[in-house]
A and B are shown apart, each in its own frame.
Chain A
Amino acid sequence: MSKSLSSRWFYYAAPQNFFHLCAQLWPWCAALAALLGLWGLYLGLLVAPVDAQQGEAYRIIFVHVPASWMSMVIYMAMAFWSIMGLVFNTRLSALMTRALAPTGAMFAFISLFSGALWGKPMWGTWWVWDARLTSELLLFFLYLGYMALTSAIEDPKKGDRAGALIAVVGSVNVPIIYFSVKWWNTLHQGSTITMGQAPSMAKLMLWAMLLMALSFWAYTLAVVFYRVRVMILLRERQSQWLRTWVSAHSVGGPA
């Protein structure tokens, strides 16, 4: 079993095979994202009761926490693909890292923006320089730095390597964000969900938040599978399989 799994892994490490796999996968992921998102929004905005302390403003949690989780998960995924790329020198790894970065930056921005909108009515300020907020801002800048660096280096291979280094070194920041509310005394509230402990929120609210988080996961997979195909179009333009495919699937019908 493990042998077939590893051979399948290497099969899809070839851009040609992954290109076709992604075409099959992304519509399903997109549909799943829409379905879970609608369900989560229904529970979070229409059904869930008001919070005793924060009133209706707490509903920001249904985008804020899932977006913050995704901003960290995506950076770790970029670090993972970068290590794979540096160790095994596979062509696909860097393309995955590049495809993940814009979505990670978007979620980091949503996290900061919705956090500011939540902070104003609850703390009386849009922003404080505390550990949680500052480390998340740093994460946002790491995404921007990665994208600026990889797009500025013209040689794609060199860009891949430089980007991989940023992704791996920058990943040290992710556990700092996650544990910042424990390690330092911050204005930001503690974790809503902690491993091995009962969550500190009502079941219905928790369900709405988990559905939104799963929806963001599915969305990320959909958009990354979609974007990595654009990257493969760019990188593999010399290979015969892609030329054959393009002639058969061009915008204005078969060429």
Chain B
Amino acid sequence: MHWNSLQEFLEMGGYALYVWGSFGVTFLLIALEVWQARGSWRTELTHLTDALQIEASLQDKSPSSRPSATLTSVMPLTPSEESGGIKTGNPQPPFTP
């Protein structure tokens, strides 16, 4: 052990600001990065889970004649068939085989 007392260790021979400043900023930034990475993982996982749940609930509400969400349930048919003026905001032309 190089030091004789805690006081001596903390004073760093008069260079405390410089030495502890360097080590402090290093650990602060590493802690921030870890915290940020954990946050982004949780956010993205939650977003994806929510999106899947919404999709699943949409499939449940579709008429029993359609067992799952099909192309026609997601995309508008022809404009005349679009009752109630539902705007899907889908710029693609209606699907015609």
Contact = CB atoms under 8 A, between A and B. Distances in A.
Interface of A: 45-50, 55-57, 59-60, 63-64, 67, 102-103, 106, 109-110, 113-114, 117-118, 120-121, 219, 223, 226-227, 229-230, 233-234, 237, 242-243, 246-247, 249-252, 255
Contact of B48 (A109, A121, A219, A237): A237
B52 A110 contact: no
B29 A106 contact: yes
Contact of A117 (B2, B21, B48): B21
A50 B25 CA distance: 22
Given A57-B13, A114-B25, 5 more contacts: A55-B15, A121-B15, A226-B37, A230-B44, A242-B48
A247 B46 CA distance: 11
Interface residues of B, number: 33
14 contacts: A46-B1, A50-B2, A59-B19, A110-B29, A113-B25, A114-B25, A117-B18, A117-B19, A118-B18, A233-B41, A233-B45, A246-B52, A251-B42, A255-B52
A150 to B, nearest CB: 15
A57 B56 CA distance: 61
Contacts of A49: 2
Contacts of B18: 57, 60, 117-118, 120-121
A255 B42 CA distance: 15
A49 B3 CA distance: 9
Given A63-B22, A118-B22, A246-B52, A55 B14 contact: yes
A79 B34 CA distance: 24
Contacts of B3: 46
Contacts, number: 104
Given A46-B3, A55-B14, A223 B34 contact: yes
B49 interface: yes
Given A49-B2, A50-B2, A246-B52, A113 B13 contact: no
A237 B13 CA distance: 55
Contacts of A103: 33
Contact of A230 (B25, B34, B40): B40
A50 B37 CA distance: 37
A251 B30 contact: no
Contact of B15 (A56, A63, A227, A237): A56
Contact of B44 (A59, A110, A118, A234): A234
B29 A255 contact: no
A59 B26 CA distance: 13
B58 interface: no
A247 B52 contact: yes
Contacts of B22: 60, 63-64, 110, 113-114, 117-118
